[in-house]
Amino acid sequence: MISYDWDTSPEQRRTVPFQYGYIPDKASSRAICFLSMMSLSFAHVMLRTFSCGLLAVTNMRWLTYYLAADMGLFFLYKIVRKDFFYFINMTGIVRLSISILNRFVIKGMVDFTMLIHLRGSCEMGGFWFLVTLLLSMTGSIVSAYLYSNQYQDDDKLDTESLQAVLGSLSAIWVLSALSLVLVMDRKYLSTFYNFDTASDYERKCFMNAREDQDDLKSELLTDHPDMYRTWGDELLKPWTLKNWDRWEEEKPAWFTDAWIECVPNEYIPYDWRVKYNKTKGRVEDPQMRRRSSVQQVKMLMGGLEEK
């Protein structure tokens, strides 16, 4: 299972320690977590498929409305929270198109595979991941009710069989979820329901990185500026201004021309901005601005004296 591999990956736990690590290190606990994740995924996918199948045979338009409303609510949630655009560093119609496609695909993957690692704030988000799980349960109940009362063909499933299937899958869903919660490291439980945005996620990435993990911090500046606009001046700017001379001397592998081009002008020391020729029409040296003002005053005074 991909989600199991992601959470137990040493690299993921090193780079994003606040998101990955809910599976304990003890072998028996890991086995229980793995089985719980597998059975929860099975129950979720079957309930979702069960719902779609019953709605499709009852009234195809109802299935269309259900899927459209489900996707539309997810899009609306992301838009209202100003978290719809993907973190890719592009602009205009390209960024909009990629964001729409990504949100659509990620939502579909969670709906029909329940990949737990997609609960990350840059993807589905913890809260809407939980909403999706609950909708798979409630949607199956509503679909079964509509099927029982609206579908009239001779090959209709009897109510007892329908209830047996729905009850069994729901029981597996509940027991698997409880088992996972009881065995997992519960300090990560909030990642399954929090309201963090992609910007909040990246801020946590910076805050949780160690002093020697400049490579991880540097990746944040390659994302779209919207991802760090609200906190970049507080955290990223002091970090780059403090360490730029050292990076120029040490030349780490990630410190490339392409990376420097991604860094906002105001995050680069002025002397280096001049060397990179990144000041034109953008950020000026405060000292140069004061000198220019003094020269203007002198010119004005000189003109008055001539008169």
CB atoms within 10 A of CB 174: 13
pTM score > 0.75 for this model?
A: yes
Determine the longest span between alpha carbons in the chain, in angstroms. Answer: 106
pLDDT tens-digit readout, 188-219? 999 999 999 999 999 999 999 999 999 999 99
pLDDT tens-digit readout, 106-115? 999 999 999 9
Instruction: Answer yes or no: is pLDDT of 283 > 90.
Output: no
pLDDT at position 288 is: 46
Whole-number Å distance between alpha carbons of 37 and 113: 11
Decide: 197 and 127 in contact? Cβ < 8 Å. Answer: no
